[in-house]
Amino acid sequence: MSSKIYNKKQFLLPESHRSMSCYHAKVMEDGIMKLTIHDCKRSVQLKNDLNNEDEIDEAIEKLNNFAEGILELKKFIQENFKK
């Protein structure tokens, strides 16, 4: 496995003075992937070892399902709550 790294951090509401919500997506030199989502005082972390073929597939499936769920929730909010 190559030692490619990825490291991206971003605030979800960068202009807000009230929100510290952010995410941190990282692939470290040892092949460990971590996606951490922070909102106020809580965090959720997805983690996989990209040195293992099964865990690579799991990481991709987790990310695909998470992205799909986010888009579905966004659509629901826009259709039902946005005026």
pLDDT tens digits, residue range 17-35? 889 999 999 999 999 999 9
In-domain check, residue 1 = no
In-domain check, residue 47 = yes
Q: What is the pLDDT confidence band of residue 2, given thresholds at 50, 70 and 90?
A: low
**Do the Cβ atoms of 46 and 61 come closer than 8 Å?**
no
In-domain check, residue 32 = yes
Residue 75 belongs to what domain range?
A: 6-80
The model's pTM is 0.86
- The answer to whether residue 1 scores a pLDDT higher than 60 is no
Q: What is the pLDDT confidence band of residue 40, given thresholds at 50, 70 and 90?
A: confident
In-domain check, residue 60 = yes
Number of domains in the chain: 1
| Cα–Cα distance, 81 to 34 (Å, whole number) | 32
